[in-house]
A and B are shown apart, each in its own frame.
Chain A
Amino acid sequence: MPAEPTDPTAPAEHPVRRRTVTSGGVDLAVFELGDPAKPPVLLVHGYPDTHRVWDVVAEDLAADHHVIRYDVRGAGASGHPRRLQGYHLDQLADDLFAVADAVSPDRPVHLAAHDWGSIQAWHAATDARAVERIASYTTMSGPCLDHVGHWFRRRFGHPTPRNVAQVIGQELKSWYIAVFHIPLLAPTAWRLALADRWSEILRVTEGVEPRPGHPAATLRLDAVRGIKLYRANMLPRLTRPAERFARIPVQLITLTRDRFVSPALAGSDLDRWVPDLRRREIDAGHWSALDKEASTVARMIRTFAADPEGGTSEPEDAVPAVSAAHSGKPFTGKVAVVTGAGSGIGRATALAFAERGAHVVACDIDRASAERTAELATLLGATAHAYRVDVTDGAAMDDFAKEVAQEHGVPHIVVNNAGIGHHGTFLETSEKDWQRVLDVNLWGVIHGCRAFGTLMTEAGQGGNIVNLASAAAYLPSKVLAAYATSKAAVAMMSDCLRAELAPHGIAVSVICPGIVNTNITRTTTFSGTSAAEQEARRSKAAGMYARRNYPPEKVAAQIVDAVLHNRSMVPVTAEAKIARTLGRISPALLRAAAKLNIG
Chain B
Amino acid sequence: MTFPYTSSDLDRFRELQQLAYDCAERVADWLEPGVTERQAAARLRRELVHAGVSDFFHVPFAWFGDRTAFRNFRTPLQFFPTNRRLAEGMPYVLDCAPVRDGYTADIGYAGRIGENPLWDLIAQDLRVYRELILREVRERRALAEIYASVDAQIARHGFDNRHRVYPGRVIGHQVTKVVERGPAGVTVFGFGVRTLQTLGRELIGERRHGRSPLWADGRASRHVPTPGLWAVEPHVALRDVGLKFEELLVVTDDDAYWLDDDLPHVRRWTQRADNADIRAADNEVLTTDAR
Contact with B along A290-331 (1 / 0, CB 8 A): 000000000000000000000000000000000000000000
CB <8 Å contact, A369 and B156: yes
A539's nearest neighbour on chain B, judged by CB, is: B148
The residue in chain B whose Cβ has the minimal distance to the Cβ of A553 is B160
Residue of B nearest to A542 (CB): B148
A327 to B254, CA, bound (A): 59
Give a binary string over A349-391; 1 marks a CB under 8 Å from any B CB, 0 the rest: 0010001000000000000010011011001100000000000
A344 neighbours in B (Cβ, 8 Å): 155
B33 at the A/B interface (Cβ < 8 Å)?
Answer: no
For chain B, what secondary structure do more than half of its interface residues adopt (helix, strand, loop), or is it mixed? helix
Q: Is the CB of B160 within 8 A of A551?
A: yes
Contacts of B156 in A (CB 8 A): 343, 369, 372
B155 is contacted by which of A343, A351, A380 (Cβ under 8 Å)? A343
Q: B152–A519 contact, CB under 8 A?
A: yes
Cβ proximity bits B238-271 to A, threshold 8 Å, 1 near / 0 not? 1100000000000000000000000000000000
| Interchain CA distance A379-B155 in the complex, whole Å | 17
Q: Is A203 an interface residue (CB 8 A)?
A: no
Which residues of A520-572 are within 8 A (CB) of B? 522, 539, 542, 546, 551
B144-166 vs A: 1/0 string, CB under 8 Å?
Answer: 00001001100111101000000
- Contacting A373 at CB < 8 Å: which of B118, B121, B158, B217? B158
Q: How far is the CB of A365 from chain B (nearest CB, A)?
A: 15
- Chain B residues within 8 Å of A542, by CB: 148
**Is B158 a contact partner of A376 (Cβ separation < 8 A)?**
yes
Partner of B239, one of A380, A518, A519: A380
Asked if residues B158 and A347 are in contact (CB atoms below 8 Å), the reply is: yes
Given A347-B158, A372-B157, CB of A379 within 8 Å of CB of B152: no
CB B219 to nearest CB in A, in angstroms, measures 10
Bound Cα distance from A345 to B216, whole angstroms: 25
| Chain B residues within an 8 Å CB radius of A522 | 152
CA of A500 to CA of B160 in the docked complex: distance in angstroms?
Answer: 40
Majority secondary structure, A binding face = helix
* Residues from chain A with Cβ under 8 Å of B151 in the complex: 546
**B118 cross-chain contacts in A, Cβ below 8 A:** 379-380
Q: Which residues of A contact B239 (CB under 8 A)?
A: 355, 380
- Provide the bound-state CA to CA distance between A98 and B238, in Å: 54
- Which residues on B sit within 8 Å (CB–CB) of A376? 121, 158, 238
Which residue on chain A has the smallest CB distance to residue B161? Answer: A546
As a 0/1 sequence over residues 396 to 435 of chain A, the CB contacts with chain B under 8 angstroms (1 = contact) are 0000000000000000000000000000000000000000
A66 to chain B, nearest CB (A): 44
**A519 B158 Cβ-Cβ under 8 A:** no
The minimal Cβ–Cβ distance linking A598 to chain B, given in whole angstroms, is 23
Residues of B contacting A355 with CB < 8 Å?
239
Closest-by-CB residue of B relative to A373 is B158
CA distance A344 to B154 in the complex (A): 11
Query: Among residues 57 to 76 in chain B, which have CB atoms less than 8 Å away from a CB atom of chain A?
Result: none
**Contacts A379-B118, A380-B239 hold; do A519 and B160 have CB atoms under 8 A apart?**
no
CA distance A373 to B155 in the complex (A): 11
B:157-183 near A, CB below 8 Å: 157-158, 160
Q: Write out the residue numbers on chain A whose beta carbons fall within 8 Å of the beta carbon of B158.
A: 347, 351, 372-373, 376
* Chain B residues with CB under 8 A of A539: 148
Question: Which residue on B lies nearest to A343, using beta carbons?
Answer: B155
Name the residue of chain A whose CB is nearest to the CB of B117.
A379
Cα–Cα, bound, A243→B167 (Å): 50
Q: B residues bordering A, Cβ < 8 Å?
A: 117-118, 121, 148, 151-152, 155-158, 160, 217, 238-239
Give me 10 A-to-B residue pairs in the complex whose CB atoms sit less than 8 angstroms apart, sorted by A's number: A343-B155, A347-B158, A372-B156, A372-B157, A373-B158, A375-B121, A379-B121, A380-B118, A519-B152, A522-B152
